[in-house]
């Protein structure tokens, strides 16, 4: 059955939520970029997103628009088609995209942080010039293969492997839960070589022995497509391999970048839920007065804006550190864990404030809430990030 994406003409009533005047810490460009992405989300994402999510359909036409806007790889060097912008800009873009939908933000953060970033950092000159400009414009789509069916939180134990075969490597194995894999033109894949070191490489669609089946039945991130990567004796030319990086630090550096973006992104989803709940609490009358007048509703709203404000300050500081090259992976873990968690709590509370209406696609909370279950899990689960903080503060590793 062909899916028809319905375009809603509901107007976007979202208002900026900046309780502590954090806007004063941003530059004029930051604010202009935020307004641009916000306007774009309002015009191009919100009218179709409920329909996309309902029908489990990824709005692929948005890739080129995001490319034109500059949302794909904003902090990648401009020389290769990136935006050459600072980390706060990157964060703000992720926040605004996720105000629309975590799936749309995932489309952009996989492309920028997990595909363009490793190619720009570890790739050869040829890899950079072959792929980066096309990825930046959205002409081609990329995906990132680290997780395996039997190795999620412990990617270091992956079994996908390459064997030397003269001018090429032979790649075997499988990756699981890969955002974009069924629609991707290229995949950045991590696999072990014969000395058991993790290496990164670019696999192109159409290589013999390579397939990318779709994973069906997701109740989360339904506007984003997820699949597997299956490699059966795929001949990978040696020039496709990243020359100088080996070990887990390759993929982990990409994850740091993407997690950083998620810590901003989650605030977008949280603000969208809070915004809806605040408005609804003033309009919905029960017992002769707006429900926002009841103390229990106020408690929910007050706690939501408090958590949003804390999260905003956290990422602003993290972004400032990142701009100076000083943000540590452990700091990024803390921000990702905290901000996704509060966003999920806010989605749930905001859903409650809407009563029965809250479970429908008239309002965004259910969709955000279901999406955030993925966001809580991917890029390191909620508990794994806790253990990273635990390791960092105690010096004792709970993983080994």
Partner 1 sequence: MNLLVCISKTPETTAKIAFKDENSSFDTDGVQFIMNPYDEWYALVRALELKEQHGGKVIAINVGDSSNDPVIRKALAIGADEAVRVDIEATSSFFVAKQVAEYAKSNDIDIVFTGKETIDYNGAEVGGMIAEMLEQPYFSFASHMDHDGSTATVTRDIEGGVEVAEINGKFVISAAKGLAEQRIPNMRGIMMAKRKPLNVIPAVEAEGNVKVLSYELPPVKGGITMVDADDMDKLVKLLHEEAKVL
Ligand X SMILES: Cc1cc2nc3c(=O)[nH]c(=O)nc-3n(C[C@H](O)[C@H](O)[C@H](O)COP(=O)(O)OP(=O)(O)OC[C@H]3O[C@@H](n4cnc5c(N)ncnc54)[C@H](O)[C@@H]3O)c2cc1C
Residues that bind partner 1 (CB under 8 A): 13, 15-16, 28-29, 31-33, 35-36, 39-40, 43, 68-71, 74, 83-85, 89
Q: Which stretch binds ligand X (CB under 6 A): 67-75, 79-87, 177-185, 289-297?
A: 177-185
Give me the residues paired with residue 190 across strands. 200
| Residue closer to ligand X, measured from CB, 226 or 240 | 226
- 249-283 helix and 87-100 helix, angle to the nearest 10 degrees: 50
DSSP 26-50: S-HHHHHHHHHHHHHIIIIIHHHHH
Q: What is the nearest approach in angstroms of ligand X to the Cβ of residue 395?
A: 17
* Beta carbon of residue 32, minimum distance to partner 1 (angstroms, whole number): 5
CB nearer to partner 1: give 228 or 272.
272
Task: Count the residues of the shown chain that bind ligand X, applying the rule CB under 6 A.
Answer: 22
Interatomic CA distance for residues 128 and 118, integer angstroms = 10
Catalytic status, residue 379: yes
The answer to whether 171 and 160 have CB atoms below 8 angstroms apart is: yes
Q: Which is nearer to partner 1, 18 or 204 (CB)?
A: 18
Angle at CA of residue 45, ends 3 and 337, nearest 5° = 110
Told to check if 253 binds ligand X by CB under 6 A, we report no
Question: Shortest distance, CB of residue 107 to partner 1, whole angstroms?
Answer: 17
Q: How many residues does the chain have?
A: 400
Out of 75, 109, 147, 263, the residue judged to bind ligand X by CB under 6 A = 147
Stretch that binds ligand X, among 125-133, 173-181, 277-285, 288-296 (CB under 6 A): 173-181
Beta carbons of 330 and 389 less than 8 angstroms apart: yes
Residue 352's alpha-carbon distances to 12, 105, 262, 355, 358, in angstroms, are: 21, 25, 25, 5, 7
Nearest approach, Cβ of residue 179 and ligand X (Å): 3
Does 113 bind ligand X (CB under 6 A)? Our answer is no
Largest CA distance in the chain: 79
Candidate segments 120-128, 164-172, 312-320, 373-381, binder of ligand X by CB under 6 A = 373-381
Least spacing, CB of residue 400 vs ligand X, in Å: 9
User: CA-CA-CA-CA torsion for 38, 269, 102, 33, nearest 10 degrees?
Assistant: 20
Instruction: State which H helix or E strand residue 375 sits in.
Output: helix 365-377
Catalytic residue of the set 87, 148, 228, 379 = 379
Catalytic center residues: 379
The residues that touch ligand X, with contacts defined as CB under 6 A, are 110, 143-147, 152-153, 177-179, 221, 226, 374, 377-379, 381, 383-384, 387, 399
């Amino acid at each position: 059955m062909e899916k028809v994406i319905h375009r809603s003409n509901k107007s976007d009533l979202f208002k900026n939520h900046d309780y502590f005047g954090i806007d004063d810490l941003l530059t004029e460009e930051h604010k202009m970029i935020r307004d641009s992405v916000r306007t774009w989300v309002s015009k191009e994402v919100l009218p179709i997103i409920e329909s996309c999510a309902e029908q489990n359909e990824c709005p692929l036409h948005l890739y080129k628009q995001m490319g034109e806007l500059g949302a794909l790889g904003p902090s990648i060097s401009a020389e290769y088609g990136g935006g050459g912008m600072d980390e706060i800009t990157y964060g703000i873009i992720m926040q605004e995209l996720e105000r629309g939908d975590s799936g749309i933000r995932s489309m952009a953060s996989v492309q920028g942080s997990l595909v363009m970033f490793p190619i720009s950092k570890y790739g050869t000159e040829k890899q950079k010039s072959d792929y980066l400009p096309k990825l930046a414009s959205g002409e081609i789509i990329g995906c990132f293969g680290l997780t395996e069916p039997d190795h999620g939180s412990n990617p270091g134990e992956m079994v996908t492997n390459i064997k030397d075969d003269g001018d090429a490597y032979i790649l075997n194995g499988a990756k699981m839960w890969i955002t974009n894999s069924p629609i991707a033109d290229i995949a950045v894949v991590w696999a072990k070589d014969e000395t058991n070191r993790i290496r990164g490489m670019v696999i192109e669609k159409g290589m013999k022995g390579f397939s990318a089946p779709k994973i069906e039945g997701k109740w989360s991130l339904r506007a984003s497509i997820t699949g597997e990567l299956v490699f059966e004796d795929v001949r990978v030319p040696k020039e496709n391999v990243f020359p100088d990086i080996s070990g887990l630090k390759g993929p982990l550096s990409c994850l740091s970048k993407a997690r950083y973006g998620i810590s901003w992104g989650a605030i977008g989803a949280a603000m969208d839920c809070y915004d809806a709940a605040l408005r609804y609490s003033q309009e919905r009358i029960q017992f002769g007065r707006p429900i926002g007048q009841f103390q229990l509703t106020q408690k929910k709203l007050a706690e939501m804006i408090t958590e949003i404000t804390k999260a905003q300050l956290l990422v602003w500081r993290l972004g400032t550190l990142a701009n100076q090259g000083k943000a540590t992976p452990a700091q990024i873990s803390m921000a990702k864990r905290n901000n996704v968690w509060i966003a999920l709590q806010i989605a749930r509370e905001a859903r409650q404030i809407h009563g029965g209406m809250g479970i429908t696609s008239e309002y965004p909370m259910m969709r955000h809430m279901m999406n955030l279950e993925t966001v809580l899990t991917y890029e390191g689960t909620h508990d794994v990030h806790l253990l990273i903080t635990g390791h960092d503060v105690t010096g004792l590793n709970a993983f080994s």
